[in-house]
Amino acid sequence: MLLKTSLRSFFAHKGRMLLSLIAVVLSVAFVSGTLVFSNTATSTFDKLFASTASDLSVQPAKPELGDDPRAKTLTVPADSVGKVAAIPGVRTAVGQVAVQSATLADPATNKRVGPTSGAPTIVGNWADTPRNAVEITSGHAPQGADQVVVDADTAKKAKLAMGGRLRLITTDKHDFTIVGIAAFKTTNPGAALAFLDTATAQKVLLGQSAYTSVEVFGDGSRTDEQLKAAALAGLGSGVQAKTAAEQKAENADSVGSFLNFMKYAMLGFAGISLLVGGFLIINTFSMLVAQRTREIGLLRAVGGSRRQVNRSVLVEALLLGAAGSTLGIGAGLGLAVGLIQLMNAVDMHLDAGDLKIGADVFIAGYAVGVVITVLAAWIPARRASRIAPIAALRDHGTPAEPRSNTIRAVIGLVLTAGGGGLLVLAAGAKEMATGGRYIGLGVVLTLVGFVVLGPLLATTLVRVLGAVLPALFGPSGKLAQRNAMRNPRRTGATAAALMIGLALVIGASVFTSTVIKSTNVQIDRSVGADYIITGGQNGLSQEIVDAVRKTSGIDHVTEQKYLPARFTAPDGKTSEEGVSAVSAKFTEDFRLPVKEGSADSIKQGALAIGEDYAKDRGLRIGDSLKIEYGQGRVQSLPVGVIMTKGNSLFDGNTFASIEAVSKAVPAADQPADAVLFGKAAAGTDVAGTLTALEGALKEYPQASVRDQAGYKDLVQSQVNTLLYMIYGLLGLAIVVAVLGVVNTLALSVVERTREIGLLRAIGLSRRQLRRMIRLESVVIALFGAVLGTVLGLAWGITGQRVLRTQGLEALSVPVATIVFTLAASVVIGLLAALVPAFRAGRMNVLAAIATD
């Protein structure tokens, strides 16, 4: 009987539950789609690594210190191939050359060819192995010193064709003819590939007859571990060996970190959407229970218990959750396909036809959809079960709970005050870690506190926000204001859904705006150089340095190199910090944030170290640090400068002069410059010199030059990319919140059918009625936007204070974004009211009055 009653009630109100169903569908789709995408991407790369990994890969020994991509490429001797091939159990051994320090360009335009998303450009030799990652689909393998094979994706993107020319830039420039196009057998992880014949690859890429690795394939008579032991024994020191399993694990870790970041970030936003959807479902069931008060009273009068009434509502929620979860999982598959297409657009090619839909997708989808729906419905279900039969039969509404407002006010104030106190403590914390803990808990408590206080705040704030409505819109405005205030609990819950999304938008805007402003302030204060020349992960060759120096209008050039190094402090503690080696003009082009010492001491062979490192090691001016660069190269340098922390341009760096470092590491063994800084000569046109620099570097597509304004624009574009991604993901939560406003208005129109009929009967026109509902929606949306703005500002400002020692020293409040958000909330309110207002205006007056 209980199930039968629940089913009848559910299908009788299916139209009213439609928007709640959509909220569940969207939230579940986000969760299930993320899992399907993650599973598919992981499976695709697992197949790639499993199908291409050799049984054993012999490589140069791991550098003694952290490897720098700008350093000289490490190799294994050419005779290693023969030695490994002679090991019992080895079927074949293939010498391979592969480097990521070369640049590909189109000779016709000299523009760079290759990925722009951070994936590498890999150039090597073409070597047939039993497990090639690619196969030649057009043309043939390179067979001469001027021939090259490129991968199909790069050829398509750069419009390269068979017989065309391709330029390879290392320390020199080499032009090749494209004789073959190769396609990946499984998936392209986003890299650009170019293959030369072995002799040419060794000469051009390594400058010697050697290999970067020897790939070993066994005959099955010995295990990979046995082959590894034999290879290491036969080759001695200077090499390392990795089995197929170790290669797969290493590759999976490198790709997995990116995929996991995406997965957990998207699941986090899915959680926000679920929270917002929860308010929508609470409102839906609260209003449905209120409209069915007399029906519930009849159930109780004929013998239904509180438990049965409670179960009846929860069964309806269970049906809603199950239906929403089923549809959501289906929609999630579409979302996963969309994400895969997005990855394909940024050169990480995945197969949308091979979706991996594991049991975890269904478990998570149904668990999330059903659990959140049932929990959200439990509050109104509990309230429904407490309705006394006689009161329900007499009253068309849920009974008042005299103590509820008092209890709510106390709980809300305690939570909000506690959260606010934690935000204040976070803002005043001296250590970032301490402040981070405080702000995390403070955000949660203030959010929950505002949600709890929402219905109580609604009465006051809606009266203020709607104060001008009676004057501007007459009776429609006055009715809209009072309608929004009539049920504060419903208004508070509806506004809370919008509040959460907008609070996160405002908080993210404050953070990113602060990052941009702080970076600009630091550049203006600390950078005296007029131009910044970078070369990506490959560094800048001496040719580029010479070209910059020879440019007309350049007064001088400052070089900066990065050398991996191990520091040993006077207390005996060691750490791998690395040294930024700079030329003599560095202290003229940069104003170091000096806490102690003199910046000019760098010219005399001293070190500039950070404040935190000095504090942790108890270092003072004049103390010596022992620096090991590997290969037995050691020197001791005195501390000449201790830099104040909080400047992102210098934090984490240790500076020494190139001249001082050269006493331990010969210039020929030092890595390429990581970055160059140019200073315009006095009296020259800075903009004109920038144009001259761009012309001088036209032959070097691997290098890019910017002035200070251009560098600021680069930082802003990078931060804005992150911000727009956050906005896009938060958009789902805001969509669900808008559905909540629509649902609330639609159900309130049904609830007030008789009242609307009476208003129409006493002279309220259809136009005035529609305006009343639209204004009510706008007031509710504005209420949520105001609460969200207050919370977002509090979170964003506190975040800046917590991170002030990490470089976020200049707070920036995006006023334009806040104004736009408030204006958008008005638009949201108007759009949300379109359908409910239209339906209300079409009601038959007499039928509406006769409604019970």
User: pLDDT tens digit string along 599-650?
Assistant: 999 999 999 999 989 988 889 999 999 999 888 899 999 999 999 988 888 8
**pLDDT given for residue 575 in this prediction:** 87
**pLDDT given for residue 635 in this prediction:** 94
User: pLDDT tens digit string along 333-374?
Assistant: 888 888 788 777 666 667 666 778 888 889 988 888 888 888
Q: Which of 202-206, 267-271, 286-290, 608-612 has the lowest mean pLDDT?
A: 286-290
Evaluate if residue 174 carries a pLDDT over 60: yes
Q: What is the DSSP string of 272-321?
A: HHHHHHHHHHHHHHHHHHHHTHHHHHHHHHTT--HHHHHHHHHHHHHHHH
**pLDDT given for residue 41 in this prediction:** 80
**pLDDT-based confidence at 13, cuts 50/70/90?**
low
Q: Which of 401-410, 470-479, 765-774 has the lowest mean pLDDT?
A: 401-410
Percent of the chain with pLDDT over 70: 89
**pLDDT given for residue 700 in this prediction:** 87
Report the alpha-carbon distance of residue 442 to residue 798 in Å, rounded.
Answer: 10
Non-local CB neighbours of 227 within 8 Å, separated by 6+ positions: 55, 56, 87, 89, 90, 216, 218, 243
Query: β-strands 147-151, 173-184: how paired?
Result: parallel
**Mean pLDDT calculated for residue range 496-509:** 88
**pLDDT given for residue 402 in this prediction:** 53
Q: What is the DSSP string of 173-223?
A: EEEEEEEEEEEESS---S-EEEEE-HHHHIIIIISSSEESEEEEEE-SSS-
Three-state secondary structure call for residue 166:
strand
Question: What value does the mean pLDDT of the chain take?
Answer: 84
Higher per-residue confidence, 398 vs 194 = 194
Length of the chain: 852
Higher per-residue confidence, 839 vs 478 = 478
**pLDDT given for residue 756 in this prediction:** 84
**pLDDT given for residue 398 in this prediction:** 46
User: pLDDT tens digit string along 16-61?
Assistant: 677 678 878 877 887 888 888 888 888 877 777 777 889 999 999 8
**Mean pLDDT calculated for residue range 126-142:** 90
**pLDDT given for residue 399 in this prediction:** 45
**pLDDT given for residue 656 in this prediction:** 95
Percent of the chain with pLDDT over 90: 34
Q: Do residues 285 and 380 lie in contact, with contact meaning Cβ atoms separated by under 8 Å?
A: yes
**Mean pLDDT calculated for residue range 673-700:** 90
**pLDDT given for residue 10 in this prediction:** 57
Cα distances from 73 to residues 56, 150, 207, 544, in angstroms, run: 21, 22, 10, 20
Indicate whether this model's pTM tops 0.85. no
**pLDDT given for residue 401 in this prediction:** 52
Residue 154: other Cβ atoms inside 10 A: 23
**pLDDT given for residue 432 in this prediction:** 84
Report the alpha-carbon distance of residue 233 to residue 848 in Å, rounded.
Answer: 93
**pLDDT-based confidence at 397, cuts 50/70/90?**
very low
**pLDDT-based confidence at 749, cuts 50/70/90?**
confident
Q: Do residues 321 and 24 lie in contact, with contact meaning Cβ atoms separated by under 8 Å?
A: yes
Q: Which of 115-124, 177-186, 655-664, 827-836 has the lowest mean pLDDT?
A: 115-124
Three-state secondary structure call for residue 610:
strand
**pLDDT given for residue 761 in this prediction:** 87
Evaluate if residue 376 carries a pLDDT over 80: no
Evaluate if residue 394 carries a pLDDT over 60: no
